[in-house]
Amino acid sequence: GENVEQHPSTLSVQEGDSAVIKCTYSDSASNYFPWYKQELGKRPQLIIDIRSNVGEKKDQRIAVTLNKTAKHFSLHITETQPEDSAVYFCAASSGSSNTGKLIFGQGTTLQVKP
Amino acid sequence: DTAVSQTPKYLVTQMGNDKSIKCEQNLGHDTMYWYKQDSKKFLKIMFSYNNKELIINETVPNRFSPKSPDKAHLNLHINSLELGDSAVYFCASSPRLRQNEQYFGPGTRLTVT
């Protein structure tokens, strides 16, 4: 069935370092890959997304890369700051169902130490 | 202005009760969703509606019934609440059915005792 695997489950970095979170997906028809940031007790917020016709997208300190052949995509955060600490979720669209359905990864808890 | 809003924010109730959660979006979006986030933070789709039409109906107990009176509102009614229903329930919306960007509401933390 449709599945998204996300690694690592926890990640601790020093302020100023880079952080990378990786996801793999199973549905070869998936064509949309968003990333969400969820702070403690808050809603998931869309921070960046990428579609299958693009290999990389960048927005200030965050970037996402997509390798369709290998069916994996990654989130890169540079110059991390304490306010980047949160749970990050990747997701992939369910391409086969064409219903707008997103399959979420299990989440990565990022801790940025000052 | 709040884009996607939910009420109530917290809901504490006893097993066997029936409760509803309401969701409203003022973004003019066509599609709305209900997600359940369990204690391990896993986000799972439950239902979606597009212009008041049920689109996604995942394998959830039939004690859960969504209702969309218009495309700006999607409510979730839960009958005969069980301990395992305790979770955070998020509503979300997206502009159109196949335009996948989804924007989440603040969540409703349901605790069943």
User: In sequence order, what DSSP letters do the residues of B49-72 get, joined into one string?
Assistant: EETTEEEEE-S--TTEEEEEEETT
Between chains, do B97 and A99 touch, taking CB under 8 Å as contact?
A: yes
Kindly list the distances between the CA atom of residue A95 and the CA atoms of A13, A69, B35, in Å, as whole numbers in the listed order. Answer: 34, 15, 19
Q: In chain A, at which residue ranges do the beta strands (DSSP E only) sit?
A: 4-7, 10-14, 19-25, 32-38, 45-51, 56-59, 62-67, 72-77, 86-93, 102-104, 108-113
Average pLDDT, rounded, for chain A:
94
Which two three-digit tokens encode residue A86?
């949160």
Q: Is B103 on the interface with A (CB under 8 A)?
A: yes
Distance between CA atoms of residues B96 and B102, nearest Å: 10
Of B98, B99, B103, the CB nearest to A46: B103
Q: Is A101 on the interface with B (CB under 8 A)?
A: yes
Between chains, do B45 and A93 touch, taking CB under 8 Å as contact?
A: no
Which two three-digit tokens encode residue B50?
């597009």
Instruction: Name the residue with higher pLDDT: A95 or B57.
Output: B57
Of A49, A99, A107, the CB nearest to B41: A107
Between chains, do A42 and B106 touch, taking CB under 8 Å as contact?
A: yes
Quickly state the pLDDT bin for B60 (edges 50, 70, 90): confident
Nearest to A4 by CA among A21, A23, A22: A23
Nearest to A58 by CA among A86, A84, A67, A66: A66
Distance between CA atoms of residues A1 and A15, nearest Å: 38
- Kindly tell me if the per-residue pLDDT of B47 is higher than 80: yes
Mean of the pLDDT values across residues B11-35?
96
Kindly list the distances between the CA atom of residue A14 and the CA atoms of A20, A61, A84, A85, B42, in Å, as whole numbers in the listed order. Answer: 13, 15, 11, 11, 26
Distance between CA atoms of residues A18 and A62, nearest Å: 10
Distance between CA atoms of residues A86 and A108, nearest Å: 8
Q: Is A99 exposed, middle or buried (0-12, 13-18, 19+ CB in 10 A)?
A: middle
Q: Which of residues 50-69 of B touch A (CB under 8 A)?
A: 50, 55-56
A98 CB neighbours in chain B (<8 A) are 98
- Kindly tell me if the per-residue pLDDT of B79 is higher than 70: yes
Average pLDDT, rounded, for chain B:
93
Instruction: Name the residue with higher pLDDT: B55 or A11.
Output: A11
- Kindly tell me if the per-residue pLDDT of A97 is higher than 90: no
Which two three-digit tokens encode residue B96?
């159109």
Of A36, A101, A106, the CB nearest to B56: A101
